Amino acid sequence: MDAQAAADRRRKLDAVLADLRRECGPSLRVLAVAAERRAYETDALTSHRVLPGLVLLPADRSQVAPIVRACLRHGVPYVARGAGTGLSGGALPTESGVVIALAKLNRILDVDPDRMVAVVEPGATNLSISAAVAGYGLYYAPDPSSQVVCTIGGNVAENSGGAHCLKYGFTSHHVLAVETVLPDGSTVVLGSDDIEAPCYDAPGYDLRGVFVGAEGTCGVATRIAVRLLRKPEVVRTLVADFPDVPSACETVSAVIAAGIVPAAIEMMDNLAIRACEDAVHAGYDREAAASLIIELDGPGEECAELFEQVSALCSEHACTRLRIAADDAERAAIWAGRKAAFAAMGRLSPEFLLQDGVVPRTRLAEALAGIADLSSAAGLRVANVFHAGDGNLHPLVLYRESDGEGPAAEALAAAIAELCVALGGSLSGEHGIGVDKACSMPKMFSPADLTAMDRLRAAFDPSGLCNPNKVFPTPALCGEARGGAYQPHPLEETGKIQRW
């Protein structure tokens, strides 16, 4: 970087800091030393790293607006960050920019068990919401696999899903209102005005709907009102093994065709089954070509009736073994195996790339055959573990960096994402576009589509300082060499989080 430009950026950051010391006082924690800032240079897309110029940890949500205003005043880009578990680089800092780390704003502020609403701070973890309301027989439905540590603010930014969104929908369906510091420094509630008494309806444009899933580009959430659901009366879970992948795919279609909406339908291919079984000993059949985990929940009698139907459909589709969880412990073991899938890949390969493409459910078999073809053409193995019910694939491209396979793996991963789009699907089902897939956006959206989206972004952020260079392809982003090896997030290595 040009020395003059560097000095200029430094000066701006100093000005931001001076303003904030005055406005927020000593309770605003500031990480200015490089070694401290280093911890914030990446999220869970560890192949991208940018050292931020300044990391600020508000002690109180009232400090967020002064931070945004100071950044605006001095022209400094900023990004809000929760636990840093995002898989698409959505929380990647800008060089010499500010990171607003919201981890301290982690309180559950209010629970209204009658109205089934909770108001929480953005740094509250996903699971802490369910934990806080469990005593009322309620829970917060979206369940990304990192829910032990990922924050609701990050979930809002990414419109996170999880294994059960086939039936229960995404973050967007469960957020009633978001108090937001807009990029102009003002604080408003998107959704109905009173965040403490959130309404389902709000007049005018659905800005809350736009904000959820905008990947942090439209402002910084400071309070979030979420809907809670009543815990289902009954949950039933089975594992069905199949002699080949198409049979498993046909079973998924048959269940859906029978008019059943399971809480979750997950699928694993043989490579994934073996890795998971070796890692967790969940009782999977290592010889099965494919396995489905199907979970139903709801009122007792109906759940039992539909579960019978699902079991019968599995048998009709060449299922070689049907294992029904006898109790909660067995169900937990089945899910533990599934959730360990990504961590277990280390047994198969030192490195892997994770994709998040989606295809229409009826094209799953075609997509998997296409992935197998691409995989053999590239001479690299691909393991498949995915949300079959909604067609959300998570192919894992296995490779060895030390053998120089990195570029081929990158090319294969990109080809798989493009295959999903070509089959009428999407680049991302739940991980977001971030920096990771921004350069692929033109494969899915026309210039007119992207222009319309950018127009919307500009209505929220005319300054372009709020989490810049995300979602949309830019020359700066897409001209550069991309990618690199998957490296596990530190929390993943310690077993605190899993990836799906």
220 is an interface residue for other proteins by CB under 8 A: no
Question: Six-digit token pair at 140?
Answer: 């917060």
Closest of 291, 300, 295, 321 to residue 310, by C-alpha? 295
Are residues 213 and 172 in contact, defined by beta-carbon separation less than 8 angstroms? yes
Residue in 205, 283, 379, 490 binding other proteins, rule: CB under 8 A: 205
Which DSSP string do the residues of 308-371 spell out, in sequence order?
HHHHHHHHHTT-SEEEE--SHHHHHHHHHHHHTHHHHGGGT-SEEEE---B--GGGHHHHHHHH
135 is an interface residue for other proteins by CB under 8 A: no
Residues 385-414 as x/- pattern, contact with other proteins by CB under 8 A: --x--xxx----------------------
262 is an interface residue for other proteins by CB under 8 A: no
Are residues 482 and 42 in contact, defined by beta-carbon separation less than 8 angstroms? no
Contacts of 110 (CB under 8 A, 6+ apart): 118, 119, 196
Please state, in angstroms and rounded to a whole number, the distance separating the CA atoms of residues 499 and 394. Answer: 10
Q: Could you tell me how many residues make up the chain?
A: 500
Closest of 365, 288, 284 to residue 319, by C-alpha? 288
298 is an interface residue for other proteins by CB under 8 A: yes
Of 5 and 258, nearer to other proteins (C-beta) is 258
Residue in 246, 429, 468, 473 binding other proteins, rule: CB under 8 A: 429
Residue in 25, 169, 283, 479 binding other proteins, rule: CB under 8 A: 169
308 is an interface residue for other proteins by CB under 8 A: no
Binding to other proteins, residues 105-124 (CB under 8 A): 113-117
Question: Six-digit token pair at 35?
Answer: 């070694």
Of 333 and 478, nearer to other proteins (C-beta) is 478
- Total residues interacting with other proteins, rule: CB under 8 A: 94
65 is an interface residue for other proteins by CB under 8 A: no
62 is an interface residue for other proteins by CB under 8 A: no
Are residues 230 and 137 in contact, defined by beta-carbon separation less than 8 angstroms? yes
Please state, in angstroms and rounded to a whole number, the distance separating the CA atoms of residues 87 and 102. Answer: 18
Residue in 2, 4, 33, 259 binding other proteins, rule: CB under 8 A: 259
Which DSSP string do the residues of 391-411 spell out, in sequence order?
TB--EEEEE-GGGT-HHHHHH
Of 203 and 475, nearer to other proteins (C-beta) is 203
To 5 degrees, how large is the angle CA 281–CA 282–CA 284? 100
Range in contact with other proteins (rule: CB under 8 A) among 3-11, 25-33, 208-216, 262-270: 208-216
374 is an interface residue for other proteins by CB under 8 A: no
Please state, in angstroms and rounded to a whole number, the distance separating the CA atoms of residues 52 and 34. Answer: 9
278 is an interface residue for other proteins by CB under 8 A: no
Binding to other proteins, residues 309-368 (CB under 8 A): 358-362
Residue in 19, 23, 209, 320 binding other proteins, rule: CB under 8 A: 209
Range in contact with other proteins (rule: CB under 8 A) among 27-35, 103-111, 293-301, 399-407: 293-301
Query: C-alpha 329: how far from its chain's center?
Result: 27
Residue in 194, 316, 373, 403 binding other proteins, rule: CB under 8 A: 194
145 is an interface residue for other proteins by CB under 8 A: no
- For residue 35, CA distances in Å to 32, 148, 274 come to 9, 27, 40
Range in contact with other proteins (rule: CB under 8 A) among 46-54, 103-111, 277-285, 438-446: 438-446
Residue in 65, 72, 190, 293 binding other proteins, rule: CB under 8 A: 190
To 5 degrees, how large is the angle CA 310–CA 391–CA 271? 85
474 is an interface residue for other proteins by CB under 8 A: no
426 is an interface residue for other proteins by CB under 8 A: yes
491 is an interface residue for other proteins by CB under 8 A: no
Compute the least distance from the CB of residue 364 to other proteins, in Å.
10
Of 445 and 484, nearer to other proteins (C-beta) is 445
Are residues 155 and 161 in contact, defined by beta-carbon separation less than 8 angstroms? no
Burial of 196 (0-12, 13-18, 19+ CB in 10 A): middle
26 is an interface residue for other proteins by CB under 8 A: no
Of 261 and 332, nearer to other proteins (C-beta) is 261
Compute the least distance from the CB of residue 18 to other proteins, in Å.
29
Of 16 and 156, nearer to other proteins (C-beta) is 156
Binding to other proteins, residues 70-99 (CB under 8 A): none
Please state, in angstroms and rounded to a whole number, the distance separating the CA atoms of residues 298 and 214. Answer: 32
Range in contact with other proteins (rule: CB under 8 A) among 22-30, 37-45, 268-276, 451-459: 451-459
Residue in 102, 103, 207, 396 binding other proteins, rule: CB under 8 A: 207
Are residues 236 and 307 in contact, defined by beta-carbon separation less than 8 angstroms? yes
